[in-house]
Amino acid sequence: MTQSTCTTTVKSGRGARHGVVSEVTAFLTVKPGEADELRAGLVRFHERVRRAPWQEVVKIGIVDMRHAVFEDDTRLLWITSFDTDWDPYIDDAVAIIGIENWQDWLRHTVEYSSSPEAFRDAAAVKRSLQAAQVPATGFYRAIPDLTLAQVEKGRRIREAFERVLDDPRAAEALQHPALKPLLDEAAD
């Protein structure tokens, strides 16, 4: 595994990077009295993303994401990490997930709802997040050097390999010299 340090690049906006992944940490302000609606919108948002088929997950690029409402329902923390750099791709992610699904919760934040372009321009999502973003002092991912597509490919190869190994003829088939690297992995 290549060692990569946590760096902030111009491309990743004010987010930090570890390997091929960048992060966004944002503290937003909850519109007074709207915390319950905000939470409900977030639940729907997460459900939407969790239901996405794998191809779409890769396209969206969100590696993980958490939202937490805190300080007596006045503030919202959004922490996420993103395949590659988030800055160039966030508009795409907004489009793929569907602007209405973002607005469903963002409308309950001061940053979004007070933006002049809110509800008119998709770029308002990015701007309101950037406005609320704070630089991360530390950012660590255990597997920094694999993109989602590579992880998915690895999973498919592993499953295929297990199916091969379940076949009683596998021991013989893997004896071919060209398959030596696979045979080395076949024992456990």
Partner 1 sequence: MTTTTTTTPLDLADVQGGILNPRPSPYVGTYLLLRIDDRRDGREMLRRLAERIAPAATWSADSGSWFNVALSHRGLAALGVPAESLATFPPEFRAGMAARAGVLGDVGVQSPEHWEWPLGTADVHVALAVIAKDAERLDVLLEEARAAYGRLPGVRLIWRQDCYALPTEREAFGFRDGISHPAVEGSGIPGSNPQERPLEAGEFVTGYVDETGDRAPVPQPEALGRNGTYVVFRKLHQDVAGFRRYLRDHSASAEDEERLAAKLVGRWRSGAPLVLAPERDDPALGADPTRNNDYLYRREDERGLRCPVGSHVRRMNPRDAVVTGEVRLHRMIRRGTSYGPPLPDGVLEDDGAERGLCFVFIGAHIARQFEFVQAQWVGDGRAFGAPEERDPLVGSHDGPGVFTIPARPIRRRLTDLPQFVSTRGGEYCFAPSLTALRWLADLEG
Which residues contribute to the site for partner 1 (CB under 8 A)? 162, 165-166, 170-171, 174-175, 183, 186-188
Contact 114, 32 (CB under 8 A): no
Nearer to partner 1, 72 or 166 (CB): 166
CA distance 145 to 63: 13
Residue 37, judged by CB atoms within 10 A of its CB (0-12, 13-18, 19+), counts as middle
Nearer to partner 1, 100 or 184 (CB): 184
Q: What is the nearest approach in angstroms of partner 1 to the Cβ of residue 82? A: 25
Among 134, 147, 127, CA closest to 58: 147
Nearer to partner 1, 55 or 175 (CB): 175
Q: What is the nearest approach in angstroms of partner 1 to the Cβ of residue 160? A: 15
Q: What is the nearest approach in angstroms of partner 1 to the Cβ of residue 119? A: 43
Q: What is the nearest approach in angstroms of partner 1 to the Cβ of residue 170? A: 6
Nearer to partner 1, 40 or 186 (CB): 186
